[in-house]
Amino acid sequence: MNNDFIFLGIAPKLNRRGFISYRVSLDDAGNQYVQFVRNDKKGTFSDIIYSVKKYAPLRHSSSSIGFPQGYSLACTGLVESKNTNDGGFLKAVLRHHLHLTTTS
């Protein structure tokens, strides 16, 4: 995977109390991936890189994404998130990012 990012964004959290900063990267085939960079409030997140294509259909779902799988740079492979915030943060980031890319 290419570590160069193509976009930096700031998404409102689902509860509208705070923001998640994120970056978007592309792989060699042009697939987009998101990674959380900063939480402006308390709360932790993983350094996992998530596939936009895999999770985009879930962004408006009323159900939780739960513990999403993604690519770990530390483990250099696919892992499942163990952080309870990641599913909600991923949904917020995807709503924001995909709204921007479909309206511009």
CB 68 within 8 A of CB 53: no
CB 71 within 8 A of CB 55: no
pLDDT digits (tens, 9 = 90+) for 9-55: 999 999 999 999 999 999 889 999 999 999 998 889 999 999 999 99
Domain extent, residue 34, equals 5-103
pLDDT recorded at residue 60: 93
Q: How many domains does one find in the chain?
A: 1
Mean pLDDT of the chain: 91
Average pLDDT over residues 59-77: 91
Q: What is the pTM of this model?
A: 0.90
Burial class of 43 by CB neighbour count within 10 A (0 to 12, 13 to 18, 19+): middle
Two tokens at 62?
Answer: 């009323």
CB 15 within 8 A of CB 30: no
